[in-house]
Structure 1
Amino acid sequence: MTFRDLQNQVRAAVLVGLKEAGHPEVQFDVSEPPRKEFGDLTCNVAFPLSKQLKAAPPKIAQELINHIKPHLGQFSLISSVEPHPAGYINFRADYAQLSTGTLASVIGGKGDYGRVNMEKKHVVIEHTSVNPNKALHVGHMRNVILGDTLYRIMKAANQDITVLNYVDDSGLQVADIIIGFKFAGFPVEPPDGRKFDQYCGDEVYVKVNQLYEKDPSLVEKRKLVLREIEEGKSELAKFAAEITKRVLDEQLKTCWRMKVRYDVLNFESQIVVSQMWTKAFELLKKEGLVRLEQEGKNKGCWVIEAQGEEDKVVVRSDGTATYIAKDIPYAAWKLGLVPDPFGYAKYADQWDGSVLHATTLAGEKGQFSGGDRVITIIDSRQSRLQRIISQVLGRIDTGRHDYQHLGYEAVTLSAGTAKALGIDIGEKQFVHMSGRKGVYVGADFVLDHLRDKARGEVRTRNPEFSEKQVDEIAEEVAISAIRYNMIKQDLDKIITFDINESMSLEGDTGPYLQYAYARSQRILEKAGMDVQEARFELLKEQPEIALIKEISKMDMVVEDSAKSLSPKALARYAYTLATAFNAFYEKVPVLKAESKELLAARLALVKAYGITLGNALSILGITALGKM
């Protein structure tokens, strides 16, 4: 029995009260009250009833309570019910029952406590999708980490998930670095030995864009390169494919370092060659979703009528398709609205032992089945485009269309960080990152610096550790610091990244959660006894009750996070759980408990907490460390 069961019993008790009072059933909410003294759950049923009965909510609430009290015996998790002066009905939990039910299920379970069995659906998640011409920077990390955490949440909610990474291997950004290698004299191999993706982005891409202003002939060559890449047949196109793969491989190493995994890589060049757009275009014309403009600024263009917004050109007057012409068929493919033209080949073994596949235009076709729910993670600057795509898909397939854009605001650099990098931003407090201008902080750079700072902390606290142990723990601490920092933020808020603040290992951070977990394991290690059963009803202290209450909520938080697409909700839960444990640890003696029975009960509580927080951290992509 968990907090969900308590909530269900409260709802059932209210329904009994309504029936006994002879009142009609109405829609009502059961939620946690704003203040602890009001109880564990509160119900607003008297307010919607007051409109029908033409009576004051406090009077209705008291009447319902009078009818509920005689039946409390059938609700084992409810200890009492009482009115609030405003008209709410407040319920208190029987913590002897809730503690026994919750802690026994955590300790006696299969280690999967907190996971929830939602109705199984095929959920397709696309994230990362960084142009293969540069290394990932800290702005990309927000996308990558959000996408991977959402995958983990959906997996914990019993969903069948396919994770996609879209590779734009035929765009201008790729053409830029090919110009650098073939026409601007840049050596293919990095002269300073740095990672190939960093070399392409930091050196070649930035300097080629500067050269365009000085040498207009390079701009004309870029058009040539872009056309040959899209056709995919020339030696230049083969060279571009080799470069793209090298950059992509380095990008994947960075993502795998952050404990991120994928199922399938999709390549834009294959979407072009496969004629998916041609088929999708015919479908759009058949359904009357596009029209050929006969006059005005878009004369000769095919446009989509965007509901409530300016029409969007999909095919220019010269017959060339715009970028949305590639996005629409790809989105339709993700939903299974167009035939799957791809074969699938093994691309790599990933860090977790799973196989990463890549689409091909050879081999057995049609292995991908469209998603019941498609979630595309792209920053909010693409919101208009995503709304148009969603409108188009909804008009093609009104029956089961479920295409969602999960947007987020950008990551900017603080003034201090910009200054440290030698970037002059004048009097501004922050600056937006730009790969073209070379204004960004690389993901590997951030991870390396976080790891180096963590290494010193770990060595100071654990002088007996070997260098290998210190390095392994420091790497996990660095990953937790950056992952949690990205997850805990509101999606609609800009993150101003400060490299010094990000390295803090205290406060509302990933390392704080890891340390709170390690502290619980140290208590269990010192106790030297494995507790499987205990008298949980002995746990009556307020810090004990508060901790048990938080433990009992995990499955509800996971379900809410999955339904609302809110990784932050799970991050907030993990932090609240950790702070509840630390309050318990500081105020309640565990190893020096007054009796053996109480010692066993408190150790069992510590063990249940460790399992719960460890599972929450795992879903967040953070390793629970036994020592740090």
Structure 2
Amino acid sequence: MFYSLERSISRAVSQYLLRQFEVEIPVVAEQPKQTSFGEVALPVAFQLARQLKKAPKAIAEQLATDLSGQIEGVAALEVANGYLNVRFDRGWYARQILTGHDQDTQEFSTAKTIVEHTNINPNKAAHIGHLRNAILGDTFVRMMKAMGTRVEVQNYIDNTGVQVADVVAAFHFLEKKSAAEVLELTRQPRFDYLCWDLYAKISQLEDGKQWRAETLHEIEAGVGPLSDMGHVVADAIVECHLNTMLRLGIEYDVLPRESEILHLKFWSNCFEQLKEKKAIYLETEGKNKGCWVMPGSAFRENAGEEDSKVIVRSNGIVTYVGKDIAYQLWKFGLLGKDFYYRESRTYPSGHRCYVSQSTPEGAEPVQFGAGSSVYNVIDSRQSYLQDVVAAGLRALGYNEQADRSIHFSYEMVALSPRTCTELGIELSEEDAARAYVEVSGRKGLGVKADDLIDTLTERARAEVDSRHAEKPEASRAIVAHQIAVCALRYFMLKFTRTTVIAFDLQEALSFTGETGPYVQYAAVRASKILGKIAERGETMPDFRAVLSREVFARVLENEDLWQLLLDISRLDVVLRSAVQSGEPASLAKYAYQLAQAFSRFYADFRVLDETDEARRTVLLWMTKYFAAQLEKTLATLGIPVPEYM
């Protein structure tokens, strides 16, 4: 609601300036330094001072005089230090919220935004680092959808890469397994855990490099027993990953696979375009002799020859970044080619997820890609490769698309030493003294995502059991899972993307402080207050019928209540800012502030015991609004609200 009125005020001032002075400038709204100055401050007089050759104070005073009483929802316009300060009409504002007139903040568009996230190599179980990627991506998708943006969620599957080749080589050369025998193993629980151990094992062997090269060649060719085994391994691991992510409420629209990029000649098409535009060249000497390379000057300032990036190796194998350029062209609908698709799964929500395939047999008539903007959720260590991909688009003349190709980067996830100890990870004295401990998949040091979720759920269950032993076991299990999901997602989201996270089990699950369960508990408590109305045999008032603008105005003369209402109603402003900055941490921070605001409200106002009928009704309505806004904020963060805690 706050953004709606703020936008109306800016629009009214802009129209006045155009009418009165024939000046067309953007009118920016700011938050005053002190609440006593009102709800919005407009620095527009400073913008106009030089142009109108008047002092800012004089301009602001003219604006206040001429616009007084002209803007709906505004009670007063005041001048302070050259600023035009705006005071909302409190009764009007609350009534607008009550009647649902604050729902116009969504700006629906036919343009489609593509968000690619998760993208785990299908060679072993997902780990804690993958969870940050998936949770950030999923939350950003939820934020944009809450703003009315049309979003397509992609999870790219690198099923022909070196990591898959490592595991296939381990099964073939170490375990002496056939593709049929590996297929049998996929039917066992925790197949992804088995592959985790094999990957760590072969990564330590000197022969592993030779075995990998042989395996990778056959997988990329798409023929032979090792290629068959590669499909078995990758397909099974993808299912494991999808199941893991679903535990956190994460779903996808489409799973484009690297094998189809090769088999459907996506890369061949892209390769010809790059050669035609002279974006790459064949190196004839030096260490890159026989390779097709992109000059470093295309993506780095002051780059030399040594900065050139190999796109196709001398043996004819295209590098990861080459395939990614082709994939990025497809995302923008610039390749002139498309995948065929079949259904991968239907989620419990009813949402269908599709996977690419290379032939039309059994394909469904669905289309993906051709987005107007693309966000690639990839860790910050891949910034260089993302620059190369964008340079590839520019070299082909697609400058606008390169500008709308956004690297949604983030830093790594480590573990606190305390959490390592709790999870049974042995640490050296040196590591135990560190602020955080880095994990490594190749070394087998890390926390599997499912293990982490299981541990969080078990600890949450112990807390739920101690508080609500009388509740049915199935109900307690659901609540424990909801708390675990909340603890994990909130911890991953509360830090800015540029911050290295040291995940700590105890901190994540705490019911006090800036944690998910604290915010979750505020939402549960708000609903509990409302539930007591029925327990007392009362019925909830008809708020629309009894809460008039005048009643609201009288009750909201209380400054504390008014400031609380403003806090609750700022979700639209925070959400818009979080989307524009690409920073889900802003929304997580707001959720915590909202929970703190409710705690103040709960402590300062005895809602059910209030004797003034009008005031009690307003307090009940505010409690309901608190609950709704908390639930809406948490839902956008991907966090469920339990029945009890």
Q: What's the TM-score, normalizing by structure 1?
A: 0.91
What is aligned with 2:158? 168
Aligned partners of 2:12 and 2:93: how far apart in 1?
17
Helix, strand or coil for the counterpart of 1:246? helix
1:181-230 residue CA offsets vs partner (Å, 9 max, x unmatched): 22212875779x761112211x11111112x13xx3x4322221111111
Task: Indicate if the aligned counterparts of 2:74 and 2:87 stay in contact, CA closer than 8 A.
Answer: yes
What is aligned with 1:386? 386
What is aligned with 1:46? 45
Given candidates 208, 223, 228, the residue that maps to 2:202 is 208
Task: Indicate if the aligned counterparts of 2:568 and 2:594 stay in contact, CA closer than 8 A.
Answer: yes
In the alignment, residue 584 of structure 1 is paired with which amino acid? Answer: F
What is aligned with 2:76? 80
Q: How does 1:214-229 map to 2 (within 5 A)?
A: 216=207, 218-229=208-219
Superposition RMSD in Å: 2.5
Task: Indicate if the aligned counterparts of 1:17 and 1:64 stay in contact, CA closer than 8 A.
Answer: no
Helix, strand or coil for the counterpart of 1:105? coil
Task: Indicate if the aligned counterparts of 1:120 and 1:158 stay in contact, CA closer than 8 A.
Answer: no
What is aligned with 2:315? 318
Helix, strand or coil for the counterpart of 2:531? helix
CA drift of 1:253 comes to: 0.9
CA drift of 1:251 comes to: 1.4
Aligned partners of 2:172 and 2:199: how far apart in 1?
13
Given candidates 290, 295, 298, the residue that maps to 1:300 is 290
In the alignment, residue 425 of structure 2 is paired with which amino acid? Answer: L
In the alignment, residue 577 of structure 1 is paired with which amino acid? Answer: L
Helix, strand or coil for the counterpart of 2:69? helix
Given candidates 606, 615, 618, the residue that maps to 1:589 is 606
Q: 1:19 to 1:337 in 2, by over 3 A?
A: closer
What is aligned with 1:618? 635
Q: How does 1:144-163 map to 2 (within 5 A)?
A: 144-163=134-153
1:97 aligns with 2:103: no
CA drift of 1:356 comes to: 1.5
In the alignment, residue 88 of structure 2 is paired with which amino acid? Answer: A
Helix, strand or coil for the counterpart of 2:444? coil
Task: Indicate if the aligned counterparts of 1:303 and 1:312 stay in contact, CA closer than 8 A.
Answer: yes
What is aligned with 1:563? 580
Task: Indicate if the aligned counterparts of 1:265 and 1:359 stay in contact, CA closer than 8 A.
Answer: yes
In the alignment, residue 111 of structure 2 is paired with which amino acid? Answer: K
Helix, strand or coil for the counterpart of 2:350? coil
- Over the matched positions of the two proteins, sequence identity in percent amounts to 35
Aligned partners of 1:248 and 1:25: how far apart in 2?
54
What is aligned with 1:542? 559
Q: How does 1:273-288 map to 2 (within 5 A)?
A: 273-288=263-278
Task: Indicate if the aligned counterparts of 2:511 and 2:517 stay in contact, CA closer than 8 A.
Answer: yes
**Structure 2: gaps of 5 or more residues:** none
Greater Cα offset, 529-538 or 277-286: 529-538
Aligned partners of 1:114 and 1:207: how far apart in 2?
56
1:336 aligns with 2:326: no
1:464-501 residue CA offsets vs partner (Å, 9 max, x unmatched): 21111111001001001111111121011111122332
In the alignment, residue 60 of structure 1 is paired with which amino acid? Answer: P
Helix, strand or coil for the counterpart of 1:283? helix
Task: Indicate if the aligned counterparts of 1:175 and 1:225 stay in contact, CA closer than 8 A.
Answer: yes
Aligned partners of 1:473 and 1:323: how far apart in 2?
43
**Structure 1: gaps of 5 or more residues:** none
What is aligned with 1:398? 399
CA drift of 1:248 comes to: 1.6
Q: 1:92 to 1:454 in 2, by over 3 A?
A: same
Given candidates 216, 219, 222, the residue that maps to 1:232 is 222
What is aligned with 1:434? 440
What is aligned with 2:498? 492
1:135 aligns with 2:125: yes
Q: 1:257 to 1:367 in 2, by over 3 A?
A: same
Helix, strand or coil for the counterpart of 2:216? helix
Aligned partners of 1:597 and 1:579: how far apart in 2?
25
Helix, strand or coil for the counterpart of 1:30? coil
What is aligned with 2:510? 504
1:423-448 residue CA offsets vs partner (Å, 9 max, x unmatched): 33545332322100112112112211
**How many equivalent pairs are there?**
613
Task: Indicate if the aligned counterparts of 1:115 and 1:156 stay in contact, CA closer than 8 A.
Answer: no
Aligned partners of 1:228 and 1:23: how far apart in 2?
70
Given candidates 123, 145, 149, the residue that maps to 2:113 is 123
Aligned partners of 1:114 and 1:612: how far apart in 2?
16
CA drift of 1:62 comes to: 4.2
CA drift of 1:162 comes to: 1.6
